Amino acid sequence: MTPLSFGTLPSGKTIDAYTLANDAGASLQVLTYGGIVTSLRVPDRQGRLDDIVLGFNDLEAYLEGHPYFGAITGRIAGRVSGGRLSLEGRTFALARNEGDNHLHGGRRGLDKRVWTAQPLARPDGAASLRISYLSPDCEDGYPGSVDIAVTYTLTATNEFIVETEAAADRLTPLSLTHHSYFNLPAALGWRDTDPQGFPDRLASLAGDIGLRATLGATPVPDTALAELAREAVVNRRLMDPNPRPITEVDAIEIYRRTLQTDA
């Protein structure tokens, strides 16, 4: 597994891209920047290959800012209200990057760090890459040093496996996640078979799951309906007849984000 250069950081550090592949033609590309998965090409039920995760083709686009496409987020994946962490009777001020809140690790979380990559040999022959990063004490306000490793694997049967491990030198919170946005509508072929009707189908799906009822009498912009529809589609695994339903919390969060965008 030979890495290719994906670009250079302003610091002069080269970012590498590793490609994992199997005999079925499926492939997975991983960056040493943020542990980002830029693409995941797998066959659909008809055997047609398509990229089913959202991402960019160049490093500059990631450096300009993005909603954590394909990255490892943490040390805490999620929102810490007020950017303050209480632990063992002490309060730690975390970096605030969402108003007064700390989100997904702060201004320079794990998604913006350079990781060390090492291809692995698995007994089953599956393509596997282990990336690691040592997060030092007080990075983004967190107590203690944490040695973090994430292993990506693409199996012969097109399974994408993410395994995380970590060791800390003191008590500290850790909640990692892999933050890919799965672009299943592309795999389902909606855009190709009905490009003009795709927005209408999204809006229809949003109406079906009851966003307007969830938000009561408050007028809901069409952009919010489309956004929620996309969320609903993303949550449908390609062959899953019982996808995870959109919750009221999801609906309200999407509506809040839409208001901020429209403003």
- Residue with token string 């292993």: 151
Per-residue pLDDT of the chain (263 residues; tens, 9 = 90+): 889 999 999 999 999 999 999 999 999 999 999 999 999 999 887 888 989 998 899 999 999 888 899 999 999 998 898 999 888 899 999 999 888 899 998 889 999 999 999 999 889 989 999 999 999 999 999 999 999 999 999 999 999 999 999 999 999 999 999 999 887 655 444 444 443 444 444 444 444 444 444 444 444 455 555 555 555 544 443 334 454 554 555 555 555 565 555 44
Answer for the pair 17, 152: CB distance below 8 angstroms, yes or no: no
- Give the burial class of 130: count Cβ atoms within 10 A of its Cβ; 0-12 exposed, 13-18 middle, 19 or more buried: middle
As given in the structure block, the two tokens for residue 24 are: 């079925």
Question: What's the distance, Cα to Cα, between the start and end of the chain in Å?
Answer: 47
This prediction has a pTM of 0.71
Q: Which fold has domain 4-178?
A: Beta-galactosidase; Chain A, domain 5 (2.70.98)
**Exposed/middle/buried for residue 215 (C-beta within 10 Å: 0-12, 13-18, 19+):** middle
Q: Return the domain boundaries, the chain.
A: 4-178, 189-262
Please report, for residues 33, 185, 201, 217, the alpha-carbon distance to residue 194 in angstroms, rounded to integers and kept in the order given. Answer: 36, 11, 9, 32
Query: How far apart, in whole angstroms, are the C-alpha atoms of residue 204 and residue 218?
Result: 18
**Size of the chain in residues:** 263
Q: What residue type is 216 in one-letter code?
A: G
In sequence order, what are the beta bridge partners of 177? Answer: 73
The two three-digit tokens of residue 48, written as one number? 């047609």
State both tokens at 195.
Answer: 């490009």
C-alpha–C-alpha distance, residues 33 and 55, integer Å? 13
